[in-house]
Structure formats: structure tokens, C-alpha cells
Structure 1
Amino acid sequence: MYNSLQCFLSLFLIFSTSLTATKFNFPRLNPSGVHVNDPTTISMPLTEDLKTFYYNQTLDHFNYRPDSYTTFPQRYLINFKYWAGANAPIFVYLGAEAPIDNSTTNIGFLNENAGSFNALIVYIEHQYYGQSVSFGSLEEAYKDASTLGYFNSAQAIADYTEIILHIKKKYQAKNSPVIVIGGSYGGMLASWLRLKYPHIALGALASSAPILYFDDITPESGYYSIVTKNFRENSETCYETIKNSWSKIDKVASLPNGLSILSERFNTCKPLSKSYELKNYLESIYIYVGQYNAPPSYPVTTVCGGIDAAYFGSDILSTIYGGVVAYKGNLPCYVNSQANLLSETNTHGWPRPHWITTYYGGHDKKLVPQRFGSNIIFSNGLSDPYSIAGVLENISDSLVALYTIKGSHCLDLHCANETDPE
């Protein structure tokens, strides 16, 4: 699958619709709050091949008020290991809604291909994340609309173009072709950058990028229908059990001691205060494994295996609990643990606020069970659920779709593995 990179330099825009093996769990870093003039190396390289730089980025690229000229330090990383110098390609990975740190190791696609092209590898951190925070601190940057107003994709893309031009000028690489690369939201940014600034990027690899996932373009049920498809193709009985579980949970919860029954049945870490806690927890598992159903483990198979095995009893609630245990492992308790609560609250900038995009699928919405019809099993929501809003067919000779069967969210960007699908 990696040999396909050979065609990049002759293509104007590439859309890839494969998906990721593992979720990106990035550490949350506090911004330095210090403006340092690029290109001085600020910190020790994350690896021996990487160097860290900060670019003195303009806050607002589109207005001319005095405060628009405020600047902030935007972090970017460069791997010079493979680069042959001027005229050799530059691969630019566009950071998304997280600090850039782990991208340098998670995105194995770049390191595995840069050597063949003698390419420079650049990773740029998205504004408002990691150490690329304006206004001096996260608290100040996220304070209100006066500061969050700059937190949008148009500004982010303009940020990236400035840094790309700066790098090309600094390293006398005026004629080096640039390929921008991103996954999911970052893939949307890559495709938009190529379309909006075609003189900056020769091509774009947009992996699992739901560029059509907006109101009145893609059906609101699309994401959930594909997640459902993953489960149904794996096991019809698993699909039927999950579909019927929502009404069963509501029926039990309506009993005088219903929440206590559910708390005991699902071994919750503390008593449920409402049935929504349980349903939201289950939905999050199903949606996550449906999106990241990657080899070699294929977590949908794990969940359905636990449900169908009926280790804890043959009634619906017991089988659903079996799926939870199969996926989560043998834990002291489930559903509302302190770790779960912390993960739900420690997510600055997530769900994606309207500052970034007007609509980005089910992650931003809580939906009534089976709102989309009885054949869709999730209330909150093939291979990649986001492929419903991606580009699945070639648009032209130069706008090419690479469709991966049995893929997973952004899987094509990860390190090559013998278990990868074709």
C-alpha cells in the first residue's frame, strides 16, 4: 500500500478513505507562554532526528485591526534525516485537535516513505493546542468569544501556509514540491489547504477526512449507519442484541428500583443516577470500536464475541455486560469510574467547537435511541464511519480516491504492519 506514494508528485489532490488502528491519546501540555523568534531550537529534539522550532505567528490573517497583528509562538517540528536539500520534496503533516507530540511516532507513513523521496518531514501544531496557544495561556485563549473567535479552520490553514513558506525560504527550497498530509479533521485541513492555496501545496493526502460531513450535505445518520454495518457484518445476533438493549435498559430504569438493578448488573463504580449514564457509556464503546476496528485485534469482534458468548447469562443485559467485560477486561468496576469522568472533562477544544467547523458528525451531538430507524443500533451515533462523508470515487484524473477494504480510521497513516489490509 505504501508504494502508492510514488504517484503523489504527479497528482494534484489525493483523498484517502482508510481509517486508524489506534486512537491518538496525546499528552496535554501547558503552553510556554513565551514568544521566541524562530528558527532557534527551543527544546531538546523529541528524537535524535527531530528538531523543535517556534514560528512567530500572526494571530489574525484576514483583518486589519491593531489587535490582528498580535503574534503567538506556533510550534513545528522538522526531521532532516532524509532530506536531500533544495528541490527535494517536503512532506508536511498538519496537526489537528491535539498537541503534535505523538504524531511524530504514530504517523509512521511519513518516515517509511521520506527516504525514497529524500524528503524533508515537517509536523505543524494546530493553533490553540499543545504549546501553540495565543494570549499566553489556555485559560486566557479559551476565555470567551473575543479570544476563541480566532479558533477556526481558515486561520489554521493560513497558519500552515505561512510556516511552509518560511521553511522554504529559510532552507533555500523555493522549488521543493510540498505534499500536505492529515488524518480525520487534519485531512480536511489538508484538502482545504490544497484547494484554497494551490500555489503552496502540489498535492494533499487526506486520510479518513469527512470533508462532506456538514449539514444538508451528508445524512445525519450516515456515521451511525456505517458503525452499525460493522457490527451487523460481524454478527447478526450481536447486532440484534445491541439494538434491543436500549429499550430494555429504559424499561428496567423505569422500575422503582430500576437504577439499582442496572448498577448491580453492570457493576458500576458508583450507583447510577440516571439511565443515560449507562447508555452513553455503551454508546461510546460501540462507536469507538466501530471507528477503530483495525487489525490485528478487530475490537468489534471482541465486543460481539463477549455478547454472543453470554458468559454472564443469556438475558439481554447480561450479554451486553459480557461485551463490556470482553472489551474493557476484568476491571473492579465499570461505567462511571473516576478515570472515565476525568477523560470526559479533560478535553480542551473537544468536542470540536463551532469555531472550527459548523458540523462534524455525531461526536458533537447526543441523539435519542433509534432516532434514525430500527435498523441503526446506536443512539449516539464497511470500515470507516467517516467514509460516509469522504470521497469514495475519483472526482477527476487528478482528484483520486484510495479506498481501503477492512480499513480503520487513518490506518494508512500508521506504521506498516503485516496485518494491514491491501
Structure 2
Amino acid sequence: MAQFHYVFLFKLSLIIMILLRTSVNGKRFGTTKLGSKFTFVPTNFDVENAKNKEYEVYNYTQTLDHFNFKSESYTTFQQRYVLNRKYWGGTAKSFPIFVYTGAESSIMGDVEYSGFEMTLASQFKGLLVYIEHRYYGTSMPFGSYEEAYKNANTLGFFTSEQALADYAQITLHVKSNLSAEDCPVIAIGGSYGGMLASWFRLKYPHIVYGALASSAPILYFLGLTPENGYAVVVSKDFNSTSTSCYNTIRESWFEIDRVAAQSNGLSTLSQTFNTCLPLNTSQDLKDNLESWYKFVAQYDNPRANYLPTFCNATNRAGANTYVLDKIMAGFSALLGKECIYISDLGLQKYHGWHWQKCTEMVMPMGNGENDTVFQADPFDLAEYTKECKQVFGVTPRPYWIPIQFGGYGIKTVLENFASNIIFSNGLRDPYSSGGVMQNISDSVVAIYTEEGHHCLDLQTPNDTDPDWLKAQRNAEINMIEGWLSEYKIPNAN
């Protein structure tokens, strides 16, 4: 049953990835979506059903623009947040409030499939608050998705800085409503949400007492992390799983190029890879294959075993088997016999993460010659900018995030201005290449595992979890326990 469950999950995840185009690389310039969990919940999620479980779903009247005083800045919209009081000990002893910093998807996926944050709430008698990121889910400025995503002017309020100010407003609102002003707040987030959690602590230390930032690549920006960092880790994941599998993937790119150059090459490739529709170009095929390999590496975990499943199938095909048939054997093991849909991976106008990466979340990803499992494809900022201008009419600001949040000289920044932040990672997560991987101080720490993948520590704990994962979570719990033991109620004077 477990094997069926994860094969089904992989199929579902790839379908969602294709339909939403959120979890894949663009044709040349896309960054793999950061999402911490592969869950999908429609924006019209059954709120009453959620309430009947243990959640309270609310909307907060949020300010459109926190940083200006123009007439339009005072426009408001409804921002969704969710409370879970199941474990909360109340205000008498200042029990903590855990604020889950929503990222690039509907918050209800995180609410419905609660993970490690529920364990923390149980351990510390904490209140759980989940806040949806503006421009995702139902938290749409200007009244609707269509109006919010209409053009660069309506999208211009879609930034991480505005999102953090939203979180600050809602956090204070919740504390006031519950008479919980004296309760410490711990921010929790994974991936982009982990970046937000760490920045929330840095930017609003008077509101947020600590942060758990899981798989948060706060250093994956120009001048901070090598552009091939992500692809190098993907390559190591495959090579350490099976060198022959790694070599098969490397060989397959050149074979695809060879076949594509033949008179009926695209038709042959369409048949070989059982594509749902005929291929238009071989590059479309290669882009999709590259995205799937990255997905497999980023989201592998001890229960799913995507990497071993794929590589074992390619190896079982036999040394004398045609190289592209080996690749298909791997995908058949993950997807079954269904046809493979080849998605257009270019930038999409009505896609939130694409807007973000065309403005401030510019994470340079490229492949050098012979340094990864992929073909050479260096990051080209000029071309990247050109595509963003064509789709959104905006020019990216690739250096803004490090300036805004202190990426340059991060060790000195964190030493001098930060406390109570956990940066957790798994070294088999490709985004760990842009993470904080060393302890900065006694309270700003890096807790990582050699075996972990993307946001694995935030997933729901299970008795079958390996000891190294349990140890990582225990270390995080102990760290937070230490923070809370030292918490002092702020003096109003």
C-alpha cells in the first residue's frame, strides 16, 4: 500500500506541476519553485469543513501598501489567516504563538496537511496561526485574481516586503484579539516561506521572538552562490544513488540531439517518450526532462524513494538496452504507462511565482560545461531580463533582496543583528546550496542532515522516520525550548 501511495503521489504532483507550471524550470531562465510541500488545495477550499475539524478561518482587512501615503496605498483587501487553538495553553503563562509564514500557494494546503508545526504546538502548548501570502489563494488585492494579476501596476504591490508587513499586522491583530500581547511569537516557514520566516525575525524583532527557517535559500542570489549550485546537488543526488543511472542521464541528452537531427526525429522521440502530443522541438522535451529530474531530487524522501525507484528501473533495463529506453523505464516506474505531457515551461503572465522571480526573487540558475548531469546552459541575465519585460513589462532587480535583507556579508549581519533563528537543511536538497550552513552564534544556528531533502523536517513526523530525521527535529525542539525558557515579557515602559 505504501508503494502505491507514493507512486500515486508522484503522479499527482507531476500533474499539478504541469497544470500550474509552478514547480519546474522555465525553458532557460526559470527557477525551480521553492514550495515546501507538494499539496494542492483549491482556493474555494471547504472552509466550514476546516472549521469543523479544529481550524478557525478568518479574513483580515489588510492595507494594500504599507510603505507609501498615496491615495491608492490606503486601499484594502481581504487576507486569509487560520487559527488552531487545539493545543494552546492560553495567555496566563504566556504560551507561545507559532506563526506559519505562507508562501507561494494557498495557505489551506499547509493547514490541511499540518506537519511539524503541529508537533511544536503540542510540545509547547502553542497557538498556531497560518497566514496566507498576498496574491495567493483567496488573498487577492483589487477583489479578484483577474484584477490582481491584470498588469504590472496592479502587481506592483506584490513583494516580500509587503508580505512581511502583512504578517506583522495580522500577528499583532491576533495577539490583541486574544489578549495575548505577552505571548512570544515563533515564525515557521519552509523554502520561500522559510526565507520569509528568517526575514520576519530580522525585520520585526519586536514582534517575532524566533524563527525556524527550513530549506531557506536566502543566499541564492547573484554574487552569493554559484549559479550551478542547484544543479550540482541534483547531480550528486543521482550519482550517489547510482553512478550508472547518472551516466545514463548524461548520455541521453546527446542521444536526444542525435535523433532530433534526423528527418523524422521529433516523431521518433514522441513515440519513444510516449508524449501525449507530438513534440514541437527537442528542446521542449529536454527542458521537461530536466525539470522532472530536479523534482525527483528536490522532493525525494525516505518514504517515497523517488530517486532509487527511478534509478533502479533504469539499471534493471540492462546495460545493452537503448539509452532512451532506459530513461523511459525510470519514468514508467514512477508514472506507470500513462502518456507524458510536455508542458510549456516559459514564463506565465498569470502566475504569482513568475512575477516574483521577474522582480526581486531573481535566483540565478545555470549549468556549466561538464560540471553537472545536465547539458551546458549558463544563466544569462540579459536574456532573463528580456523575457521578463516581454511577459510582465518589468525589469528584474537581481541585487535588491541581498541589499534589503543583508545577504552580502551575511555572517557579519547575523552576528551583529540577529538572534533566535534556526536554519535547517538537508544536504541532498538542491536549495541547500544557497542556505546558511554554519552556526553564526549560540542562538543563530544551522541544523542540517547529510541525507535530508527539501523541507523534510517540516513534514508530519512518522514512527518510520529515520533516526537522523528524528534527531534533526529534536535538535530544533531543544533550541526552541531554550529560547522560550529565556523569554521575558516586554516592558511596556
The aligned counterpart of 1:348 is 351
- Do structure 1's residue 89 and structure 2's residue 82 form an aligned pair? no
Counterpart selection for 1:388 from 427, 433, 451 = 433
The aligned counterpart of 2:448 is 403
Output the CA distance in 2 between the equivalents of 1:208 and 1:223: 13
Output the CA distance in 2 between the equivalents of 1:143 and 1:346: 9
Note if contact 1:52-1:78 (Cα within 8 Å) is conserved in structure 2.
yes
The one-character-per-residue Cα deviations of 1:234-288 (angstroms, maximum 9, x if unpaired) are 1111111111111110111011111111112112222211101211221121000
- SS at 1:88's partner residue? coil
The Cα RMSD (Å) is 2.5
Note if contact 2:429-2:452 (Cα within 8 Å) is conserved in structure 1.
yes
Q: Superposed, which structure 2 residues align to 1:53-72 within 5 Å?
A: 53-72=58-77
The aligned counterpart of 1:148 is 155
Could you tell me which amino acid in structure 1 is paired with residue 58 of structure 2?
F
Output the CA distance in 1 between the equivalents of 2:36 and 2:170: 29
Could you tell me which amino acid in structure 1 is paired with residue 353 of structure 2?
W
Could you tell me which amino acid in structure 2 is paired with residue 190 of structure 1?
A
Output the CA distance in 1 between the equivalents of 2:82 and 2:242: 44
- Do structure 1's residue 216 and structure 2's residue 229 form an aligned pair? no
Structure having greater relative contact order (Cα 8 Å, sep ≥ 6): 1
Cα offset for 1:46?
4.3
Output the CA distance in 1 between the equivalents of 2:453 and 2:195: 17
- Do structure 1's residue 334 and structure 2's residue 348 form an aligned pair? no
Change (3 A) 1:25 1:134: same
The aligned counterpart of 1:378 is 374
Could you tell me which amino acid in structure 2 is paired with residue 159 of structure 1?
D
Between Structure 1 and Structure 2, how many residues are aligned?
382
When normalised by structure 1's length, the TM-score is 0.85
The one-character-per-residue Cα deviations of 1:140-166 (angstroms, maximum 9, x if unpaired) are 101111111100000000000000011
Note if contact 1:306-1:326 (Cα within 8 Å) is conserved in structure 2.
yes
- Do structure 1's residue 25 and structure 2's residue 42 form an aligned pair? no
- Do structure 1's residue 316 and structure 2's residue 312 form an aligned pair? no
The one-character-per-residue Cα deviations of 1:333-360 (angstroms, maximum 9, x if unpaired) are 2243xxx579997973133524663313
Output the CA distance in 1 between the equivalents of 2:136 and 2:442: 36
When normalised by structure 2's length, the TM-score is 0.73
Output the CA distance in 1 between the equivalents of 2:128 and 2:359: 26
Change (3 A) 1:46 1:240: farther
The one-character-per-residue Cα deviations of 1:108-166 (angstroms, maximum 9, x if unpaired) are 11222212211111000000011110101111101111111100000000000000011
Could you tell me which amino acid in structure 1 is paired with residue 431 of structure 2?
Y
Output the CA distance in 2 between the equivalents of 1:249 and 1:260: 12
The aligned counterpart of 1:306 is 313
Output the CA distance in 2 between the equivalents of 1:50 and 1:191: 25
Output the CA distance in 1 between the equivalents of 2:153 and 2:102: 24
Greater alpha carbon shift after TM alignment, 94-103 vs 340-349: 340-349
Identity score, percent: 49
Could you tell me which amino acid in structure 2 is paired with residue 349 of structure 1?
G
Q: Superposed, which structure 2 residues align to 1:213-252 within 5 Å?
A: 213-252=220-259
Note if contact 2:37-2:455 (Cα within 8 Å) is conserved in structure 1.
no
Q: Superposed, which structure 2 residues align to 1:245-324 within 5 Å?
A: 245-310=252-317, 314-324=321-331
Could you tell me which amino acid in structure 1 is paired with residue 444 of structure 2?
L
Note if contact 1:223-1:361 (Cα within 8 Å) is conserved in structure 2.
no
Cα offset for 1:200?
0.8
Higher helix share: 2
Could you tell me which amino acid in structure 2 is paired with residue 410 of structure 1?
C
Output the CA distance in 2 between the equivalents of 1:154 and 1:275: 40
- Do structure 1's residue 199 and structure 2's residue 244 form an aligned pair? no
Note if contact 2:103-2:192 (Cα within 8 Å) is conserved in structure 1.
yes
Which segments of structure 1 move beyond 4 Å, counting only runs of 4 or more? 20-23, 340-347
Cα offset for 1:311?
6.6
Change (3 A) 1:347 1:145: closer
Cα offset for 1:419?
3.5
